[in-house]
Structure 1
Amino acid sequence: MKESLIGDLLSMDIGGPPPAAAPAPAAASASNVDLLAGGLDVLVSAATGLLGDIFGAAAASSYVPPKQCWLPADKGKGLEISGTFSRQGGQPRMEMTFTNKAMQAMSGFAIQFNKNSFGVYPAGGVSVGALAAGASAELPLPLATTGPVQRMEPLNNLQVAIKNNVDVFYFACLIPAHILFTEDGQLDKRVFLTTWKEIPAANEVQHTLSNVSGTADSIAHKMTLNNIFTIAKRNVEGQDMLYQSLKLTNNIWVLLELKLQPGNPEATLSLKSRTVEVATCIFQAYESILKW
């Protein structure tokens, strides 16, 4: 971002005493651990399905991607799993549909995640009891983000193991980054400016967004619903500039400048973070939310 625009942003009426500096982002640690070594020995019990029922009552107001087939029936010996992710009540969730396409009933379901970049793990159990042949069951699974960390490639890759009375099955899926954006991700304007200047230019990445529709205000509102907060909006030489911040569940802060040209379906997104490795995930989140 040009220094002149920073100066322009700085001229905003920001008022009030300067708050404490934003916490420094934490980098994801890495270790080499094989997937679910020793089998499913730390399985979450199926007896805590009540949690899923409680959290199932909340209505989602943020973007929920359409479900994808994660485990096809021919790989799951008749078990088919489709799913997506959501964020409800300040908690990320995995929303799955289990379908039994085998000739006999399935039971004894349990789930385990491999270590991942964001420490995501199931915060509840598999509330699917016996699944009769031809039957389907919905599984809303609350997730926690304080588990062991292992850097994945891509960063938002999640490896999952599902056990039932037939076998153990494995699949991988991508966690949409926006379900890991926290509700307290709005930086004060003064802190935003200071932090943007302090982060080295080498930690700035740009991305071109295509097929962008809507006004700067409607886009800002859509982003707010997904915990991407607009710190300021400026109009510079006919372009709308949105300055935005977000915080990931592992305390990584991301600062963004979204440059919109009325009538132009392309927009420029500039990202700054002390942990710039998250950029690709963030860009993917913007692409999805803007098309929502």
Structure 2
Amino acid sequence: MPSSLNAPVGGGLGDLFDLGSGVGMPAGSYVVPKTVWLPAMKAKGLEISGTFARRMGTIQMDVTFTNKAMQIMTDFAIQFNRNSFGLSPAAPLQLATPLSPNQTIEVSLPLSTVGPVMKMDPLNNLQVAVKNNIDVFYFSSLYPINILFVEDGKMERQVFLATWKDIPSDNEAQFQIKDCHLNSDAVSNKLQSNNIFTIAKRNVEGQDMLYQSMKLTNGIWILAELRIQPGSPNFTDLELSLKCRAPEISQFVLQSYEAMLKN
């Protein structure tokens, strides 16, 4: 970080201190629909489906257990392999009753980010083991990176300017988000409810520019510049530039942007 945060900055970022007041109440945070993680045919009749969510600052793994076998299932436990962001169960897996044949039970398991870390491929891969009275079963799932966006991820404007300049241009990734049908205020609201914070908004040569920041649970900051063509009929393409000191994260951040803005 430069020693002074007040150095004059030229170009498009120079006057980004005019954040419009047209920001309404944020909507709810986006949760990816549940998918089947472990089919019953691979787990002696136990089917596991689930998704991940961030609620009130807590990461949760929403899991559905279905017994498609002929016998009762009991004594459930869960364990994670080491992963890129230290995700681990913050409490034991609680299934209140035995899982009878044809029964389904839904559980929300709180997760912490203080578990052992090992870089995975892909980065958001989570390897899970589930035990019951019959056997131990293994599966992998991919979590959306936005569950790691923390609530205090709004960077001060001067710090944003200095950091954007300080991160090498080689670390900048540029993407296009096609067929988005939201204006800049709606985009800002939707992203803010997922802890992507708009620091400033400008109109440059007819385009709305949103400057945004987010912070991961491990302290890594991601800076974004989002260009929106206002007033386009129905659908428009957005241009997203991301800067981060760990640029391999950018493609997963793009996936979260696309999912949030199109759902």
Do both proteins adopt the same fold according to a TM-score greater than 0.5, normalized to the shorter chain? Answer: yes
Structure 1 residue matching 2:254: 3-state secondary structure: helix
* Aligned position for 1:218: 186
What are the Cα deviations for residues 209-232 of structure 1, in whole angstroms up to 9, with x where unaligned? 111111100110000000000000
**1:98 counterpart = 2:98:** no
Is the contact between residue 65 and residue 105 of structure 2 (CA under 8 Å) also seen in structure 1?
yes
Give the partner amino acid of 1:105: I
| 1:285 lines up with 2:253 in the alignment | no
2:18 and 2:202 in contact (8 A); partners too: no
CA distance in 1, matches of 2:18, 2:182: 27
CA distances 1:221-273 after superposition (whole Å, capped 9, x unpaired): 00000000000000111111000000000100000000111215211100001
The 1-side partners of 2:255 and 2:101 are apart by 38
Alignment of 1:143-182 (within 5 A): 143-182=111-150
Rounded Cα–Cα distance in structure 2 between residues aligned with 1:201 and 1:61: 34
What is the aligned counterpart of 1:203 among 138, 151, 171? Answer: 171
CA-CA distance at 1:65 after TM superposition? 1.0
Q: Which residue of 2 aligns with 1:75?
A: 42
Alignment counterpart, residue 114 of structure 1, candidates 66, 75, 81: 81
Aligned residue number for residue 101 of structure 2 = 133
Gaps of 5+ in 1: 15-59
CA distance in 2, matches of 1:270, 1:142: 32
Alpha carbons 2:229, 2:238 under 8 Å: kept: yes
- Corresponding position of 1:84: 51
Distance 2:132 2:251 in 1: 35
What RMSD over aligned residues (CA atoms) do the two structures have, in Å? Answer: 1.5
Do the aligned residues in 1 keep the contact of 2:62 with 2:107 (CA within 8 Å)? yes
Alpha-carbon contact 2:18-2:200 (below 8 Å) kept: no
The reply to whether residue 253 of structure 1 matches residue 253 of structure 2 is no
- 1:169 Cα offset (Å): 0.6
Q: Which string of whole-angstrom CA distances, capped at 9 and with x for unpartnered residues, describes residues 89-139 of structure 1?
A: 101100010000000100110000000000000011111131001101011
| Paired letter, 2:240 | L
Letter in 1 for 2:250: A
Q: Distance in 1 between matches of 2:181 and 2:217?
A: 29
Shift of 1:197: 0.5
Q: TM-score, normalised by structure 2?
A: 0.90
Deviation at 1:8, TM superposition (A): 3.4
Q: Distance in 1 between matches of 2:183 and 2:251?
A: 24
The residue aligned with 2:14 is 7
Q: Give 1:3 deviation, angstroms.
A: 5.4
Unaligned runs of 5+ in 2: 1-8, 20-26
For 1:112, the aligned partner's letter is Q
Tell me what 2:247 maps to: 276
- C-alpha contact 2:72 2:100 (8 A) present in aligned 1: yes
1:13 deviates by 5.9
Q: TM-score, normalised by structure 1?
A: 0.81
Corresponding residue of 1:238: 206
1:106 and 1:13 map into 2 onto residues whose CA distance is 59
Correspondence for 1:64 among 31, 34, 43 = 31
**Aligned-pair identity (%):** 56
